[in-house]
Amino acid sequence: MSHYPPPGWLDIAQALAGPCEDASLIVSAWGRDAEAPLAAGCRWEAVQAPARLGRAVLSHGHTLGKGVETGSWPVFCGPNDDDQVLFFFLVPPGTAQRWSAPHTVCLYQGEEVAVPAPTVEGPCNDLHPAVDVTRSTVTVGHWIQTPHLTPKGEMVLAEPHLLAQGLETALEHAGAVG
C-alpha cells in the first residue's frame, strides 16, 4: 500500500531544504513519523529558546505585530537531550551575526536541526500560561505554526527584530524562563 504525503509537504520541504538536501527524502522521513535533520544557514536560521520563553512570546504575539499574530511565523518545538523542551523560530539567514537575545541561541551555517513534519498536533500548541510543557509531554517535535509559503514558494520567516523585542518583553515578566 502506497503512502502519499499530505498536500503541501513537498512544497514546505523544498522551502526548508538547503542546496545539498533532497526534499523528497525530507518528506519520506516525515512520512515515517521521523524528524528530518536539516542544516540551518542556507534558507533559514533557527532561534532556539526555552519552552517557557517561546510560549510567552507566542502568547503575547498580538502586541508584536507583523507575522506572529497571524500565525505566519514558522515555529516548532521539540525535546533536547537534557530533558528540556525547546522552541525553534525560523528566521532569515544572517540573523546569527547580530543575534544577542539572552537565554537563546541562533543556529546557523550548517548546524543540524531536527525538523518535524508540518503538522500542528502536540502539547506545545496550548499557549495558556498555566500549561506546563515538559520533556514528558513532548516526546517528539511538532510545529506550533507551520511554515507559510509565498506564491513563489518561499517561506515567510520570523522578523528577527520583532522576535528579539518579544523575547525581551517575555523576560521582563516574572517566570518567563524556566
Which stretch of 32-36, 37-41, 66-70 has the lowest confidence by average pLDDT?
66-70
At residue 98 the predicted structure's pLDDT band, cuts being 50, 70 and 90, is: very high
Residue ranges covered by each domain of the chain: 9-172
Residue 132 sits at the vertex; the CA angle it makes with 129 and 135, to the nearest 5 degrees, is 145
Q: What does the radius of gyration of the chain's CA atoms come to, in whole angstroms?
A: 15
pTM of the predicted model as reported, rounded to 2 decimal places: 0.87
Asked whether residue 119 carries a pLDDT value surpassing 60, the answer given is yes
Please give the pLDDT value at position 1: 37
Better pLDDT: 73 or 116: 116
Q: Percent of the chain, pLDDT > 90?
A: 48
Asked whether residue 2 carries a pLDDT value surpassing 50, the answer given is no
Average pLDDT over residues 127-140: 62
Residue 168 CB: number of other CB atoms within 10 A? 12
- What are the E-state strand segments in the chain? 36-39, 45-50, 75-79, 85-91, 105-107, 112-115, 142-145
